[in-house]
Amino acid sequence: MQLTVDLRSDTVTKPTPGMLEAMWSAKVGDDVFGEDETVAELENKAAAIFGMEAGLFCPSGTMTNQIAIKCFTQPLDELIADQTAHVYRYEGGGIAFNSGVSTRLLNGYRGIITAEMIAPEINAENIHYPHTSLVVLENTVNKGGGSCYTLADIAPIAELCQTKDLKLHLDGARIFNALTHTGDKAVDYGKYFNGISVCLSKGLGAPVGSVLLADAATIKYARRIRKVLGGGWRQAGFLAAAGIYALDHHVERLKIDHAHAAILGEELSKLSWVSNVLPVETNIVLFDTVEPATSVLAKLAIHGIKAIDTDKHRIRFVTHLDFHPEQVEHVIKVLKSL
Ligand SMILES: *Cc1c(COP(=O)(O)O)cnc(C)c1O
């Protein structure tokens, strides 16, 4: 029987038996009435991990980011982000639609921007200019191939934001991958950011869900925004239980995903049909192919391997908890045979 391997994203995972067990046995209530104790437990737990006051459990990372942008801006404002930012590229134009805010894009290195790059892009007080009110960072950077900020990179940006009275939001869809790589402590993040968005359905293996973290007043307002977006949900504790389980059991093991990605990157760099492999820092491998990416993907598909192209000659592999050692071997064997 042929193995099938799905490396399109770390969102393709299914709940493990332990996670399903936690979901079945969750204590739930109507969360719109504030009566779901498992949702409250997840929100408090995630907030404590990152040194923040409060949390809000939402169905997606797009929703947590969009709510944060709404909380930290007024219509006619402008936010600053790297040109690869998920909030700008992959959230359907939500910055303009939901918040009435314009976006100033920077050209970072693999999506990583610095205080020096941000400073000159902050608009002066002038009737012609939109009011700059927010900076959004992404860690790890998805489009950067899983590149990471360290807290040492973030500190000067946070200081600049404080001096200039800007809010700082972190799109931390893969923040635990970044922490695994850098060795920084999650709890220290709360000192630097006004808002943090954390996905439970990426590398952590929960079926659904993200948490927005901020101070209590912001989260109170965020709850209102979530409601207006149709995100007030009822017995969401069944899903929150999966998130709690993920935080307890699936963070430590991310280093396995990183090791698998590193092995794939190393093997790819030896192949004649691969022209370039971007540095592998976490669980994302980006590589360039001599042939068009679509024809390589078609060959991989014959061997049961799914991946995606991110450019005409670029392919992305993302490792995750349903990518097992025997599948790693299978993929390497196929890559060598092409
Ligand atoms: C996946 C992702 C999100 C959120 O995606 P959803 O599919 O809406 O949960 C946000 N930011 C980054 C960097 C992501 O990779």
The architecture of the domain spanning 17-249 is 3-Layer(aba) Sandwich (3.40)
**Fold classified for 5-12+252-337:** Aspartate Aminotransferase, domain 1 (3.90.1150)
Q: Taking the mean position of all CA atoms in its chain, how far away is CA 95?
A: 17
Calculate the dihedral angle through the C-alpha atoms of 63, 66, 72, 74, rounding to the nearest 10 degrees.
-130
CA atoms of 319 and 276, how far apart (whole Å): 19
H or E stretch including 92?
Answer: none
Using most ligand atoms within 8 A of CB, pick from 8, 63, 86, 284 the residue to mutate for ligand 1: 86
Beta bridge partners of 55: 213
Looking at residue 112, what DSSP letter applies? B
H or E stretch including 45?
Answer: helix 37-49
CA 32–ligand 1 middle distance (angstroms): 24
Q: Which two tokens stand for residue 10?
A: 């770390």
Cβ pair 6, 306 in contact under 8 A: yes
Q: Which regions in the chain score pLDDT beneath 50?
A: none
Taking Cα atoms as reference points, which of 11, 54, 39, 24 lies closest to residue 232?
A: 39
91 lines ligand 1 (CB under 6 A): no
Domain ranges of the chain: 5-12+252-337, 17-249
Report which ligand 1 atom has the smallest distance to the Cα of 59. 9
Name the pTM for this structure.
0.97
CA atoms of 290 and 285, how far apart (whole Å): 16
Q: Counting Cβ atoms within 10 Å, is residue 128 exposed (0-12), middle (13-18) or buried (19+)?
A: exposed
Burial 82-102 (b: 16+ CB within 10 A, else e): bebbbbbeebeebbeebbebe
Q: Taking the mean position of all CA atoms in its chain, how far away is CA 321?
A: 16
pLDDT of residue 3: 84
Looking at residue 30, what DSSP letter applies? -
CA 245–ligand 1 middle distance (angstroms): 20
Residues 6 or more apart in contact with residue 33 via CB below 8 angstroms: none
CA 142–ligand 1 middle distance (angstroms): 9
CA atoms of 213 and 219, how far apart (whole Å): 7
pLDDT of residue 55: 98
| Helix and strand counts by DSSP (H, E) for the chain | 13, 13
Query: How many CB atoms sit inside 10 A of residue 14's CB?
Result: 10
Cβ pair 149, 112 in contact under 8 A: yes
Q: Which two tokens stand for residue 43?
A: 């929100």
316 lines ligand 1 (CB under 6 A): no
CA 125–ligand 1 middle distance (angstroms): 33
Strands (E), 230-337: 274-277, 284-289, 305-306, 308-311, 314-318
CA atoms of 283 and 205, how far apart (whole Å): 13
pLDDT digits (tens, 9 = 90+) for 277-288: 999 999 999 999
